[in-house]
Amino acid sequence: MATRVPVSFFEAKDVAFIGYSSRHAAYCTAIRTAFEARGARVHAVNPGSGPYDVEAYASVAGVPGSPELAVVITNRSRNDSILDELAAKGVRRVIFGSKASADGSTLERCASLGMEGVVVCPLQALGSGFHRFHGWLAGVPKAPVDGARA
């Protein structure tokens, strides 16, 4: 799973953020605002009642349009249903935020559904400070803020 992720993988106009959490509000907000700083619309998804700092959809099906990218920070046990929903929505790329969210079989399932999946913290490419330093160490290129291709 240690794969170099091209900066273009993080480029999207619409992002479905599965597992947007009030329990991890600072982390989720940092990811959301990093994508928004690059011009993306981020659609938070969590079946819980919140509270959330943005509108949150109860399921992927409720997200408007067809996001080309999804960020998943849930537990692996939910992946089968989540991946089915993402594929039905037309998502082409999936970022799993950690090994707690995905393993090799998860990435294989993505491929079988026509989606490309990676395991990487989005803040390694989109963030700053410690997250960006960790991304540099891991070989994750920095995504440009203005949306220009690197």
Cα–Cα distance, 70 to 129 (Å, whole number): 24
pLDDT tens digits, the chain, 150 residues: what are they?
445 778 788 899 999 999 998 888 888 999 999 999 989 999 999 988 777 888 899 999 999 999 999 999 998 888 889 999 999 999 999 999 888 889 999 999 999 999 999 998 887 777 655 555 555 555 555 665 554 433
Cα–Cα distance, 33 to 42 (Å, whole number): 9
Q: What pTM was computed for the model?
A: 0.84
pLDDT given for residue 141 in this prediction: 55
Strand partners, 93: 69, 116
Q: Which two tokens stand for residue 120?
A: 């990487």
Question: Domains plus CATH for the chain?
Answer: 9-138 (3.40.50.720)
Cα–Cα distance, 6 to 70 (Å, whole number): 16
CB 74 within 8 A of CB 106: no
Closest by CA to 45, choosing from 10, 80, 86, is: 86
